[in-house]
Chain A
Amino acid sequence: MENEPEMILPWLILIPFIGGLLCWQAERFSLTLPRWLALATMALVLLLGLWLWSQGEFHLAPTPGSEQVWELEFKYPWIQRFGINLHLALDGLSLLMILLTGLLGVLSVLCSWKEIQKHVGFFHLNLMWILGGVIGVFLALDLFLFFFFWEMMLVPMYFLIALWGHSAEDGRSSRINAATKFFIFTQASGLVMLVAILGLVFVNFNETGVLTFDYSLLLQANLAPGTEYLLMLGFFVAFAVKLPVVPVHSWLPDAHAQAPTAGSVDLAGILLKTAAYGLLRFAVPLFPNASAEFAPIAMWLGLLGIVYGALLAFAQTDIKRLVAYTSVSHMGFVLIGIYSGNPLALQGVVVQMVAHGLSAAALFILCGQLYERLHTRDMRQMGGLWGRLNYLPGVMLFFSAASLGLPGTGNFIGEFLILLGSFQVVPLIAVLATGGLVLASIYSLIVMQRAFYGPAHDETTLAGLNGRELTMMFSLIGLLVLLGLYPQPLLDTSAASMHGVQQWLGAAFSQLVSTW
Chain B
Amino acid sequence: MDLSTSHFVALLPLLVLSATIVVVMLAIAWRRHHSLTFMLSVIGLNLALLSIIPALRVAPLEVTPLLLVDRFACFYMALILVATLACLTLAHAYLGESGRSGYPGNREEFYLLMLLAAAGGLVLVSAQHLAGLFIGLELLSVPTYGLVAYAFFNRRSLEAGIKYMVLSAAGSAFPLFGMALLYAGSGTLGFVGVGATLESATGTSPLIQIGMGMLLVGLAFKLSLVPFHLWTPDVYEGAPAPVTAFLATASKVAVFAALLRLFQLAPAGTNPWLHDLLALIAIASILIGNLLALLQSNLKRLLGYSSIAHFGYLLVALVASRGLAVEAVGVYLLTYVLTSLGAFGVITLMSTPYSGRDADALYEYRGLFWRRPYLTAVLTVMMLSLAGIPLTAGFIGKFYLVAVGVEARLWWLIGALVLGSAIGLFYYLRVMVTLFLLEPNLRRHDAPFNWGQRAGGIMLLAIAVLAFFLGVYPQPLLDLARQAGIAALG
0/1 per residue, B367-390, Cβ < 8 Å to A?
000000000000000001001011
Asked whether A8 is an interface residue with its Cβ less than 8 Å from the other chain, the reply is no
> Is A80 in contact with B475, judged by CB distance below 8 angstroms?
yes
Asked if B426 and A184 make an inter-chain contact with CB atoms under 8 angstroms apart, the answer reads yes
**Chain B residues positioned under 8 Å from A187 (CB to CB):** 387, 389, 421-422, 425
Given A195-B418, A202-B407, also A79-B475 (CB < 8 A): yes
Give CA–CA (A202, B474) in the complex, Å.
20
Residues 47-61 of chain B, each 1 if its beta carbon lies under 8 Å from chain A, else 0: 000000000000000
For B384, give the chain A residue with the smallest CB separation: A155
A155-B389 contact, Cβ under 8 Å, with A79-B474, A183-B425: yes
B430 touches A148 (CB 8 A): no
Q: Which of A158-166, A342-350, A429-437, A498-506 contacts B (4 or more CB under 8 A)?
A: A158-166
Write out the residue numbers on chain B whose beta carbons fall within 8 Å of the beta carbon of A194: 399, 402
- A184-212 CB mask vs B (1 if < 8 Å, else 0) is 10011001101100110010000000000
Do residues A152 and B418 form an inter-chain contact, with CB atoms below 8 A?
no
Say whether B391 faces chain A, with CB atoms less than 8 Å apart: yes
Contact B403 A198 (CB under 8 A): yes
Closest-CB distance, A179 to chain B (whole angstroms): 7
A126 to B207, CA, bound (A): 60
- B415-437 interface bits toward A, Cβ cutoff 8 Å, 1 = contact, 0 = none: 00111011001100110010010
Rounded to whole angstroms, the CA-CA distance of A149 and B389 in the bound complex is 10
Is the CB–CB distance between B402 and A198 below 8 Å?
yes
Tell me which of A151, A162, A195 contacts B436 (CB under 8 A). Answer: A162
Quick check: A79 and B478 within 8 Å, CB to CB?
Answer: yes
Q: Annotate A263-304 by CB proximity to B: 1 below 8 A, 0 otherwise.
A: 000000000000000000000000000000000000000000
Interface string of B428-455 (1 = CB under 8 A from A): 0110010010100000000000000000
- A191 in contact with B429 (CB, 8 Å): no
Min CB distance, A174 to chain B, in Å? 11
Of all chain B residues, the one with the shortest Cβ separation from A205 is: B407
Contacts of B482 in A (CB 8 A): 81
Nearest CB to that of B370 among chain A residues?
A119
Encode A142-157 as 1/0 by CB contact (under 8 A) with B: 0010011101101100
Instruction: Determine the residue in chain A with the shortest Cβ distance to B396.
Output: A79
Contacts of A183 in B (CB 8 A): 425, 429
Interface code A365-383, partner B: CB below 8 Å = 1, 0 otherwise?
A: 0000000000000000000
Q: How far is the CA of A158 from the CA of B380 in the complex (A)?
A: 13
Does B474 lie within 8 Å of A152, measured CB to CB? no
Q: A151-B389, A180-B426, A191-B422 are in contact. Are A162 and B433 (CB under 8 A)?
A: yes
| Nearest A-chain residue to B406, judged by Cβ | A198
- Chain A residues within 8 Å of B389, by CB: 151-152, 154-155, 187
Whether B414 is near chain A, meaning CB under 8 Å from some CB there, is yes
| A191: chain B residues within 8 A (beta carbon) | 402, 417-418, 421-422
Q: Is A331 an interface residue (CB 8 A)?
A: no
- Measured in the bound complex, the distance between the Cα atoms of B395 and A194 in whole Å is 11
Residues from chain A with a CB closer than 8 A to the CB of B479 are 81
Provide the bound-state CA to CA distance between A82 and B433, in Å: 34
Residues of chain B with a CB closer than 8 A to A252's CB = none
CB-contacts of A67-86 with B (<8 A): 78-82
Number of A-B contacts (CB under 8 A): 80
The docked-state distance in angstroms from the alpha carbon of A84 to that of B159 is 50
> Given the complex, which residues of A lie within 8 Å of B426, measured CB to CB?
180, 184
Interface contact A163-B407, CB-CB below 8 Å? no
Contact A81 B433, beta carbon cutoff 8 Å: no
Contact A78 B475 (CB under 8 A): yes
Contact with A along B398-412 (1 / 0, CB 8 A): 010011011100000
Find residues 451-489 in chain B having any chain A CB closer than 8 Å to their own CB. 473-475, 478-479, 482
CA of A78 to CA of B438, assembled, Å: 39
Q: Which residues of A contact B395 (CB under 8 A)?
A: 148, 151
Interchain CB contact (< 8 A) of B429 among A149, A152, A158: A158
Residue-wise, chain B 30-42 has the 8 Å CB interface mask toward A (1 for contact) of 0000000000000
Query: In the complex, what residues of B have CB within 8 A of residue A336's CB?
Result: none
Contact check, B407 vs A180: say whether CB atoms are below 8 A apart.
no
Contact A163/B436 with A188-B418, A195-B402, A202-B407 known, Cβ cut-off 8 Å: yes
In whole angstroms, what is the CA distance A407 to B425 when docked? 45
Kindly list chain A residues whose C-beta atoms are within 8 Å of the C-beta of B474: 79
Which A300-357 residues have C-beta < 8 A from chain B? none
A176 at the interface (CB under 8 A from B): yes
> How long is the Cα–Cα vector from A362 to B242 in the complex, in angstroms?
53
Instruction: Give the chain A neighbours of B387 by CB distance below 8 A.
Output: 187
A:118-177 near B, CB below 8 Å: 118, 144, 147-149, 151-152, 154-155, 158-159, 162-163, 176
Nearest chain A CB to B452's CB is how many angstroms away?
17
Option from B406, B430, B473 in Cβ contact (under 8 Å) with A195: B406
| C-alpha gap A513/B64 in the complex (Å) | 70
Cβ-defined contact, A81 with B475, below 8 A: yes
**What separation, in Å, do the CA atoms of A478 and B471 have in the docked complex?**
43
Chain B residue with Cβ nearest A199: B406
**In the assembly, what is the distance between CA of A144 and CA of B472, in Å?**
12
Q: Which residue of A lies closest to B429 (CB)?
A: A180
With a cutoff of 8 Å between Cβ atoms, the chain B residues found around residue A82 in the complex are: 403
CB neighbours of B425 from chain A (8 A): 180, 183-184, 187-188
A20 → B minimal CB distance (Å): 13
Given A162-B433, A180-B426, A202-B407, A195:B390 Cβ within 8 A: no
Give the CA-CA distance A499 to B438 in the complex, in Å.
51
CB-CB under 8 A from B403, the residues of chain A are 82, 198, 202
The smallest beta-carbon distance between B112 and chain A, in angstroms, is 41
- A240 CB, min distance to chain B CBs, angstroms: 16
List the B side residues contacting A155 at CB < 8 Å: 384, 389, 391
Contact A188 B406 (CB under 8 A): no
Distance between Cα atoms of A158 and B406 in the complex (Å): 29
Given A184-B422, A188-B418: A152 touches B433 (CB 8 Å cut-off): no
Closest B residue by C-beta to A148: B390
A191 to B423, CA, bound (A): 12
- Contact yes or no, A180 B430, CB < 8 A: yes
Residues of B close to A149: CB separation below 8 A = 390
Partner pick for A152 among B390, B405, B419, B475, CB 8 A cutoff: B390
Interface core residue of A81, A144, A151 (most chain B CB under 10 Å): A81
Contact at B406–A159, with CB atoms within 8 Å? no
For the complex formed, measure the closest distance between the CB of A208 and the CB atoms of chain B, giving whole angstroms. Answer: 15
* Bound-complex Cα distance A183 to B424 (A): 11
Q: Which residues of B contact A80 (CB under 8 A)?
A: 475
**Which residues of A lie under 8 Å from residue B399 when comparing CB positions?**
144, 194
Residues of B within 8 A of A148 (CB): 390-391, 395
Interface digits, B71-113 against A, CB 8 Å rule (1 contact, 0 not)?
Answer: 0000000000000000000000000000000000000000000
**A192 to B403, alpha carbons, bound, how many Å?**
12
Q: Which residues of A contact B417 (CB under 8 A)?
A: 191
What are 27 of the A-B contact pairs (CB < 8 Å)?
A: A79-B475, A81-B475, A148-B391, A149-B390, A151-B390, A152-B390, A154-B389, A155-B384, A155-B389, A155-B391, A158-B429, A163-B433, A179-B433, A180-B425, A180-B426, A180-B430, A183-B425, A184-B422, A184-B429, A187-B387, A187-B421, A187-B422, A187-B425, A188-B425, A191-B418, A195-B418, A202-B406
Known: A162-B436, A184-B426, A195-B406. 9 other contacts (CB 8 A): A79-B478, A82-B403, A155-B389, A187-B387, A188-B419, A188-B425, A191-B417, A191-B418, A202-B403
What are the nearest 8 A-B pairs in CB distance?
A188-B422, A198-B406, A81-B478, A152-B390, A191-B418, A148-B390, A151-B390, A162-B433
